Structures are given as structure tokens and as C-alpha cells.
Structure 1
Amino acid sequence: MSEVRTIPTSVSALLGTTVVDASGVKLGRVRDLAIDVNRDGTQVAALVLRNPQMGGKDLLVWVSDLKTPEALGAALEATVKPELLIRPHVFLLLDYDLLDQQIIDVDGRKVVRVNDVDLAWQLNGATRLSIEDVEVGNRGAIRRLLKGLPVSAVDGFTGKMKPRIIPWNCVDLIERDPARRVRLKIGRERLAKLHPSDIAEILEELAPAEREAVFSSLPEETAAETLEEFEPKMQKELVQRMDSERAADIIEEMDPGAAADLLSELSDEESEAILEEMEPEERQDVEELLEFEQDTAAGQMTTDFLSVPNEATVGEAIEALRTFEGDADTITEVYLTDADEKLMGVVMLPRLILARPETKLSTLWEGHIVSCPLKASHKQVAELFDKYNLRSLPVVDHNGHLAGAIHAEQVIAQLLEA
């Protein structure tokens, strides 16, 4: 089996290269490089040639119909006559569609710009031109600036520069809009593994259309967590661009308090359309929270909390924690209630974990309860968190019934907005 020989090149190096026929007659210069993404998105399928004698019409020469290039920067020879490019829209054009577009660098957790694309001639019988990496650093930008100079001179100048690249196999195409701008993302599986705040920060750097395209590719749970990290204005813009069913699926995965805050920013018609698409239980939770004033404890609280009967055991509380359908990461304590749902005590999670399964929860709480009424102001809530060094604060109605809980991160977010 013969070894495959490769010759590195790039889009910037090939643009403007002369292509000739077998007799040396000039066919045109390389204007672009075309990928047939429906067949093989890892290979350049053809070169697009511009020949002034064709009256502005482009020609297409397939890479497989090119002779092996003898040297970088030398003219390329086509073994068959080029064909007229009739349907350019079926191809992804690397220069026209890709260069200068934005791409998400997952490892760097930021949005970067495509400056060049690294390619490699693969010479093993049939000629192939594979796509290797996307250049997002200064090396690619300098290559573009020096385009037209001898390739050897450009390589000599940029060869010692540290590359910043993203492997092509980590790049997925999302779609092309009518203006033929390609919107790119790194494989959504890798993106979804980032912390929601990192995803939100990345998406904030994108233009609205690109932001919407990438956000729509996220799994519902990840999309919900990410949506909670945005400022209200951007939350509203993203939700308004979705259909009601998709928005409802995402909002159902959100913390009820955060969902209510988001829906309160929408018009009554938009909010109602989304609520109608939600499951009855989630809808009821959010509708109840929508009735409260936003500048009160009730408007700040969530109904995602863990409560068990006052006479329950540690084992029963742990089982309730296992079956808890909310965000378990927010649970720092378990609330004890009587038969009328009145708050009777609070048990911190560490004490719960260290106790024996048969231990009664009522023997574990410290004997004092810190809570606040529904109408407590944000300032009063913050003062309670500060005074008692709280992680969560139960909210009770005028009869002492447990209505919700406020978590520390919600207080921090409120203080940052103030």
C-alpha cells in the first residue's frame, strides 16, 4: 500500500492561482474553492475559475481533474475542459461564504473570526484537496494581507508565527441565509458541555441571526439554563424569535421564578401564547408567580424547593431529594412542614447527609427559623441573607404557609442589577 503524500496549502495561497489546460493555455484564475457539503464536507470538490473572456461567467474545474501540483504557487493543470458554473448555491464557497465569518472557539470560550483555511493536497493516484483547519489568529490574517505575493515569500514571513487554529472536524455548518453568509458553530455536543454562563457570554458576541441559530441548536435543558444567564432584554429578543411551542419547551425547563420574570417582560399576547403550550403543572407554577410584584420577595422567589413532613425521617428526606424534579444543584436545605404546609423547621443538607436514615428530621434542625413574608422588599431580603449568612431563605404567606424560597444567586443577581 503506497503512502499518501501531502502538500500543505491554504485558501489564501490558492486564490488567484492560474489554471491551464494540457497545452498550457490559460483557463482562468482561481476565484474560489467549492465544497459539496451534501457529499463530502471534508474535501474541496472543485475550483471556481474566473476568465475575463467568459463575460463574467465562472467556470468549474473538479479537483479530481487536476494534475498533481509540482510546487506551491505554480500553475495548476486541468486534464479535462472546465464546465460552466451553473448552480453556485449548491456549494459552500470557502472565500465568499466562509472567510471573515464568525466561529465559536469552545476551548477559548469566545467568538473568533475566520481569517484563512488550511488545506492539504493529498497525492495518491487521484488528486484530492482536503480541509484541515480554520485559521483564527494573526497568521491567517497576515496571509490574507500578503495575498498575491509569491507563496514561498509569504510562508517565509508567516512560518514562524504561532498558529491559532480550530480543526475542521470540530466545525459544523448551521445554515446559510439568503445573503449566503455561512453561520458556524463548534459541534453542539462540545458547546453544550460548557457552563451556561460561558455559553451566554459567547452568544452575546454574535449577531442576532447567528445567536438565534446557535441557541436553537442547544438541547432544551441547556438552552433553559443559558437563557437564565442573559440580561432581560436579550432573553426577550431570543424568545420572541421562537415559535410558542419551542419557547414553552425551554421555559418549562427553567426555574419557575426565572420563567415568570421572563414572561413578565413579554406582551400579554406573547406570554399567553407560550403559557398555553406549557404542561399544566409548570404553567400553574409560573402563573401563580406572575401574580406577584417583581420588587417583592414573592416576585424574587422560586417554587422549586424541597419540603417534607415534620415527622419524616432522614431516609425519607433523601428519597425525596432523589426524586426532586427541580434543579437539585440549588438545594442547600430541606424545609419541614406540618399537615397544613406551615413552615416548622429547616435542616441543612450536610446535617441530613451525616445523620442515620432512621433519624427524625425534627431532631436535626437548630431551633430557630429565618424566613420572610411575601411582601418583603429586595432590601429586606438582602439584609437577612447578610445578617444570617444564608444560602436560601424560605418565603411564607400571612398564615405561615411555605410559599417559596429565595436562593443566594438570585439575591446576588438582584444586587448586581441595582
Structure 2
Amino acid sequence: MPFFAGDIFISEVLNKPVLDQTGDEIGRLKDIVVGPGEPFPSVLTLLAVSGRETYVLPWDRINIFNRRVISVAAYLKDLKPAAAQATDILLSRDFLDKQIVDINGAKLVRVNDLKLGEVKGKLCLVAADMGLRGILRRLGLEARGEKFLSLFRYKLPHKLVGWNFVQTVEPKLTRLTLTVSRQKVSKLHPADLAEIMSEISQKERRALFSSLDVDTASEALHELEPRVQYEIINEMTTIKASELLESMPPDEAADILGNLPEERAQQLIKLMEKEEAEDVQELMEHEEDTAGGLMTNEFLAFPPDMTVEEAIKELRLAAPDVETIYYLYVIDESEQLKGVLSLKNLILARPEKRLEEIMKAPAKTVALDAEEKDVAEFISKYNYLAAPVVDENNVMHGIVTVDDVLAYLLPTASQKKRRRL
């Protein structure tokens, strides 16, 4: 078993002489190969280079590995040059100066150095250094930099990210993307994930996006700029893209489809389930900056004669399939809106009461063709979380939620308005 003591940064051993067991130099340490599938990838082989020759040295043949000495249990004369495999994961080549996702900080960071340490008796990749200290260490200036900054009473910080909190974005490194990392990425806020995806290359974005589960992917997709949405949808197969859009709330799917060429959009809609396709198609028929274009047609509506007890039972069954539940709407057989009530009022009401007895009527509404400005002012005036949208016959078509008009209410907000390419 190789002897190694304490933590080692890869910059401290790269280009160090690698000696055979007689002390002859085999070459200089060029890189370190690690294996996939672990929270902390373990070292498999060392790559030593001498002139044009490369030697692949298995980790179990290494005698000593530290900052000063790297020695191999072999004779130079017995070693034969070999090349690293195309699928090998090399720490220096594949990670130094590359970008990774810091899942804890929900941001994209640059790898300035890599930390190796012992995990269960193995030498493993345990952390990425993303700070100034890592850069200075690679330049051989860490001690000097620390001393210089101390003159100004500034302590050089250690900015390390544990490798178990890292998500790779390089396509060829997806084998090193762990299940635990993918689960943590899925817990990032969609806006944070979208921001990260906007900062990486198209190739890296494709790899990261393909590692997401359907729900996370659909939420992140809606947060992206139309240009990036178009690139992602355009790279997907038609079937996969339609399945992704089908899993989204209809208003969000309509937003994305509205940014695609008409032919491509209709092609995707035809592959969606009939009910979802009809909902999306209906939304796309309205002008985008009107209540009809802003609304979602997913809302909870019950008949006037339904009791509170029955409504609560129905609510529990329907809730998983509805994105937003701020209010319950009471409609008749002609789908005309009769009244509205909040969840609080429903819960506090007596079980035997009928909805028509506890609803607020007439409900305040906005018209299908109401402009975004008017919808925003309506929501602001009445402090509503959602505004019901009706046509000239008072038939309810959907709701506009407060986040749909947030960009208008708060011009500096990060919410983007929909726009076509």
C-alpha cells in the first residue's frame, strides 16, 4: 500500500520527479487518473512523462507519494511506455481552470487547484480550491502572498468546495457525476440553475441539462432566456422535447413554444397528449401581453352546490396536478364564474356549508383582452395573488398570478418578459 501522509494539492506534486525503486528518474508527474462512481473519486494511476514517452503507473505500484518524493515499486528498465485511455478522467487536464457547479453555493466556480486526501484508506479527490490561494499555490507564491497580505492585516482565506458538493459540466466527465450530486442539483432553485446554465458553453449546458430529472429540467427551462430555450429544445429529439413540454404547466409550455418557429411549435404540440395540447393551443391564440396570453388555464373550480367537506376532498385529489392554488373558483354548468373563496375561508367554514353560501360574489375579474398594465394594476389594487380571467359572457378561462406580472410591477426584477426570437 502506498505511503502518503496528510492532504496534498495537485499543484504541489505536478511536474515532480517520479523515481523507480533504485532512485532513477522515470519521468515527471504529468497527471493523475481517478475513477468514477464515488462521492470522492479515488486515484487509479499516475502518468509520468519523459521526453515523448508516457508511463502509466498503477496506484498499487506506488511506494511513496508526497510533496517531496514520488517513488514506484518497479525498475525503469522493466517499464514500457503506454498511453492514457480516451475515457480516463485526468485531474489536471479535465479540471484545472475548468468550471464546475458548487451545489451548496448554487453558482458556477472555476477550479484553481484540487485537493487530495485519504478516504477509507485510499487517496481520493476530496475538494476543489476556487480561491486566490489556489492560484498563488500553483504559481509557487502561496507563502509569499500570505506574508504580503498579512502586512495589511488580511488573512488569505481557504475557499474549498467538497467534491461531494460538485457537479461537473464537461460532457466527457458525466461518468464522474454522482447520483448524490444529481439529487442536490435537482434541489437548486430553478432560477439559480438557469443562471448557471446561462454562463456555460452550449456543449456543457447540454451535458448538465441531460443529467436533470424531468421536473427539474422543465422548471429550469422556463427560467432561461428565449435564445437558450430555443437552443436546448432544438437539440432535443422531437419526442423528448414534447414530453418535456407536456410535463410543464400549460402557460409555461406556451411561453416556450411561442418562442419557437411556428412549424417546430406545431410539430411538438401534435405529439403532446390531447388535453395538454388543447390547453397550450388555447393559450397561444391570445396576444402575449394580454390577460389571455399571461394566464394559465390550470385552476380549481367547483359547482355552487358542493359542500365544504366535498370541496376539501376534491381539493386533495386535484392539488398535485395544479401548480397554483391560491383561491377556489365557483362556476356553474355553463362555466360562468359565480364567486371566489380563499383556502383559508374554505378551511374555516363548517363542513356542511355549500360553497355558494361562503363565496365572495360577484367576483372581481379581468377581461381576456385586458392589457398587461391593467392586469398588474388590478392585482396591485386588490392585493390579489391571482386574478380570474373571463370573456364577455363571464365564462372563466384562466388565472393570472402575481408572478406573471411581477416584471411590470417591479421593472428591476429578474423575471423576464416573454419575447419572440
TM-score by structure 1 length?
Answer: 0.87
Alignment of 1:352-391 (within 5 A): 352-391=346-385
- Please give the alpha-carbon distance, in whole angstroms, between the structure 1 residues aligned to 2:209 and 2:290: 31
Q: Find the aligned partners of 1:223 and 1:232 in 2 and give their Cα distance.
A: 15
C-alpha separation in 1, matches of 2:220 and 2:167: 21
Partner of 1:62: 58
Match of 1:76 in 2: 71
Q: Does structure 2 conserve the Cα–Cα contact (< 8 Å) formed by 1:17 and 1:76?
A: no
Return closer, same or farther for 1:57/1:217 CA change in 2, 3 Å cut-off: same
Unaligned runs of at least 5 residues, structure 2:
150-154
Contact 2:17 / 2:25 at 8 angstroms: preserved in 1? Answer: yes
Give the CA deviation at 1:50: 1.2
The one of 117, 120, 138 equivalent to 2:114 is: 117
Q: 2:323 & 2:280 partners in 1: Cα distance?
A: 20
Q: Residues 344 and 289 (structure 1 numbering): CA distance in 2 closer, same or farther, change over 3 Å?
A: same
1:130 equivalent to 2:124? Answer: yes
Cα offsets for 1:132-189 (capped at 9, x unmatched): 2222222222211218x9xx9999999x743222222344556644xx8999687110
Distance between the aligned counterparts of 1:353 and 1:49, measured in 2? 71
* SS of corresponding position for 2:114: strand
Q: 2:95 is aligned with what amino acid?
A: L
Q: TM-score, normalised by structure 2?
A: 0.86
1:82/1:38 Cα in 2 relative to 1: closer, same or farther (>3 Å)? Answer: farther
Q: CA deviation at 1:193?
A: 1.4
Please tell me whether residue 167 in structure 1 is matched to residue 166 in structure 2. Answer: no
Shift of 1:255: 1.8
Q: Structure 2: how far apart are the matches of 1:221 and 1:334?
A: 25
Deviation string for 1:262-287 (max 9, x for gaps)?
Answer: 10110122112221321111111111
Stretch moving more, 352-361 or 243-252 = 243-252
Q: 1:74 to 1:156 in 2, by over 3 A?
A: farther
Mean alpha-carbon deviation: is it higher for 27-36 or for 333-342? Answer: 27-36
Instruction: Please give the alpha-carbon distance, in whole angstroms, between the structure 2 residues aligned to 1:40 and 1:192.
Output: 17
Deviations 1:26-77 (A, max 9, x none): 111111111243799722111111112xxx23111122112134x6323534
Equivalent-residue separation in structure 1 for 2:86 and 2:351 (angstroms): 66
Report the identity percentage: 34
Match of 2:49 in 1: 50
Question: How does 1:131-280 map onto structure 2 within 5 Å?
Answer: 131-146=125-140, 161-171=156-166, 176-177=171-172, 187-280=181-274
Task: Choose the corresponding residue for 2:99, options 102, 112, 120.
Answer: 102
Q: Is the 8 A contact 2:169 2:204 kept in 1?
A: no
Letter in 2 for 1:113: R
Between stretches 160-169 and 211-220, larger displacement belongs to 160-169
Structure 1 CA distance, aligned partners of 2:50 and 2:261? 56
Task: Give the counterpart of 1:85 among 66, 82, 85.
Answer: 82
The residue that corresponds to 2:31 in the other structure is 32
Query: Deviation string for 1:53-109 (max 9, x for gaps)?
Result: xxx23111122112134x632353442443322343131111111111111112111
CA 327–408 in structure 1, closer or farther in 2 if over 3 Å, else same = farther
Answer yes or no: is 1:304 the counterpart of 2:298.
Answer: yes
Change (3 A) 1:10 1:323: same
Aligned-residue Cα RMSD (Å) equals 3.1
* CA distance in 2 between partners of 1:232 and 1:414 (Å): 18
* Aligned residue number for residue 16 of structure 2: 17
Q: Could you give the per-residue CA deviations for residues 171-210 of structure 1, whole angstroms, max 9, x where no partner exists? A: 4556644xx8999687110111122222222222222222
SS in 1 for 2:192: helix
Contact preservation (8 Å) 1:174, 1:183: no
Query: SS of the residue aligned with 1:89?
Result: coil
